[in-house]
A and B are shown apart, each in its own frame.
Chain A
Amino acid sequence: MKMVTAIIKPFKLDDVRDALAEIGIKGMTVTEVKGFGRQKGHTELYRGAEYVVDFLPKVKVEVAVNADILDQVIDAIIKAARTDKIGDGKIFVVDLDQVMRIRTGESGKEAL
């Protein structure tokens, strides 16, 4: 099992969610975050004083998936989230040791 974390542009959230639903992903966790990569921040003016805002609003999507559909998941996210402009985001994949459904006590693949 794998935990897939995608940092995407906020307005792409609905597209990513729909794309994942299409390949059978039934749940996800979404967080509003701020961050930057190569997409630099911008300078703002507050009452004449300049300040730099490095951190741009992004959305973090986390899905726990079965290892055998990992490539499909990654492809779906990339296709849905891509705008070909800087700041599209990144995907991180880590190994998932254990998954548990709290209500029923199921674990492993049944809990995904």
Chain B
Amino acid sequence: MEAIKELSYALDTFYFLVSGALVMWMAAGFAMLEAGLVRAKNTTEILTKNIVLYAVATIMYMLMGYSLMYPGDGVSSWWPGLPSILGAADNTAEAVIAGGDDAPYYSTLSDFFFQVVFVATAMSIVSGAVAERMKLWAFFVFAIVLTGFIYPMQGYWKWGGGFLDQAGFLDFAGSGVVHMCGGAAALAGVLLLGARKGKYGPDGKVNALPGANLPLATLGTFILWLGWFGFNGGSELKVSDVAEANAVALVFVNTNAAAAGGVVAAIITARLWFGKADLTMALNGALAGLVAITAEPLTPTPLLATLVGAIGGVIVVGSIVMMDKLKIDDPVGAISVHGVVGMWGLVAVTLSNPEATIGSQLLGLFTILAWVFLASLIVWGIIKAVMGLRVSAEEEFEGLDIGECGLEAYPEFTGSRGSGK
């Protein structure tokens, strides 16, 4: 009996770790997707942003974010208490074997590992929206604050047991806590940053600035799709009995189905609206489907999950076009995919989960949206005042790879001599 309890603990811990590793892999997905959708001259810079933000998120969450988001017993339902640094302590075998309702069934550090990759995901949503014209180091400063404070606060209010959770707000894997959060932070940044030069012409003309590498963008999307099985699957938080194993399987099936619905709906929408099957819309459609189902991948049937994803796919195409009409320049569609469809995901919970009410879903939606958007606006504003957000016009024309990174992603004509001096 003891062996079974230990094995069960090990299995659930292992499940957290593997799911976390899959979500970590989504960082590669974002990096490739964004690298494929920006112009060649800005590729190195966006890759640099992606790998550094992942590292910053890991460190800030360890230093303070995790303890803010999961204090155990918060000071109040909206204030978690003071943060602390993550230690190395973990559960003992005795505590596990002792059993009972409070017995731990997974390693605490495995829970940290699973959670830290989620905050990295939220932050990486921002990097695509501000691409091609933001100062690299301004972005890193914002990353420190989002991952160390802004994200953990709203995470506490829901997953840490705070007032949103107590009000009955449901968000299984983070359509709101992660995706809409990232979208809101991105929107705040983009509003203060401004559009790329040449994107919008007079009389509302929208100019295309095509991405340089669609194979990378497609690869990135597939990587994100794969990683999402860890994102949603792992959020079931347990796999070690029949009911839980079945639940995880259904979550995987629904996650996959929603992505598929998103792809089909988006590409049909693009074909009908623009006359062509737009690959970039299909890619955004897959992600929209995934974001849409993320708030509730367990209770729908696979058919309903497909429909939820499909609606996300239609919404994202419309949102992307509308953003451009509003002159909100988002090179990869991050605000639409994660912000707008994240809202749909939160509302869609009411379609299949009898415990959800539209009132509590909207409470969560507007609370997270307001908190993240306003807090981000303040932080971006301070950064703008102190160091500036935007590169110079000349740097923007030359490409950020030269100015910010000193490295070209696709170098040509460098000759064999180098500087030779």
Contact = CB atoms under 8 A, between A and B. Distances in A.
A binds B: yes
Interface of A: 9-11, 14, 34, 42-46, 49-55
Interface stretch (B222-230, B303-311, B325-333, B402-410): B402-410
Given A11-B397, A34-B413, A55-B413, A50 B418 contact: yes
Contacts of A45: 406-407
B38 to A, nearest CB: 16
Contacts, number: 34
Contacts of B412: 34
Contact of A52 (B397, B402, B411, B419): B419
B402 A44 contact: yes
13 contacts: A14-B198, A34-B412, A44-B402, A44-B407, A46-B407, A51-B419, A52-B418, A52-B420, A52-B421, A53-B408, A53-B413, A53-B414, A54-B413
Nearest to A43: B419
Interface residues of B, number: 16
Interface string B118-129: 000000000000
Contacts of A34: 412-413
Interface in B204-227: none
A54 B414 CA distance: 8
A42 B418 contact: no
Contacts of A52: 418-421
Interface string B384-414: 0000000000000100001000111001111
Contacts of A9: 397
Q: Do most interface residues of chain A lie in helix, strand or loop, or is the interface mixed?
A: strand
Interface of B: 197-198, 397, 402, 406-408, 411-415, 418-421
Contacts of B406: 44-45
Contacts of B408: 44, 53
Contacts of A46: 407
Nearest to A55: B413
Contacts of B397: 9-11
Contact of A50 (B198, B402, B415, B419): B419
Contacts of B415: 54
Contact of B198 (A11, A51, A54, A55): A11
A111 B419 CA distance: 48
A54 B411 CA distance: 12
Nearest to B198: A11
A31 to B, nearest CB: 14
A42 B402 CA distance: 9
B52 to A, nearest CB: 17
Nearest to B394: A85
A111 B414 CA distance: 40
B347 to A, nearest CB: 42
B195 to A, nearest CB: 15
Nearest to B396: A11
Nearest to B408: A44
A49 B238 CA distance: 50
A58 to B, nearest CB: 11
Nearest to A47: B407
Nearest to A46: B407
B403 to A, nearest CB: 10
Nearest to B403: A42
Given A11-B397, A42-B402, A44-B402, A49 B418 contact: yes
Nearest to A14: B198
Contacts of A43: 419
A67 to B, nearest CB: 34
B315 to A, nearest CB: 32
Contacts of B198: 11, 14
A50 B406 CA distance: 10
Nearest to B40: A57
A79 to B, nearest CB: 18
A51 B418 contact: yes
A98 B397 CA distance: 38
A52 B406 CA distance: 11
A22 B407 CA distance: 39
- Residue from the set A14, A34, A42, A51 with the largest chain B CB neighbour count within 10 Å: A51
Contacts of B418: 49-52
Contacts of A54: 413, 415
A50 B414 CA distance: 11
A14 B205 CA distance: 14
A32 B414 CA distance: 16
Contacts of A49: 418
The 8 A-B pairs with the shortest beta carbon distances in the complex, nearest first, are A51-B418, A55-B413, A52-B419, A45-B406, A50-B419, A11-B397, A44-B406, A34-B413
Nearest to A51: B418
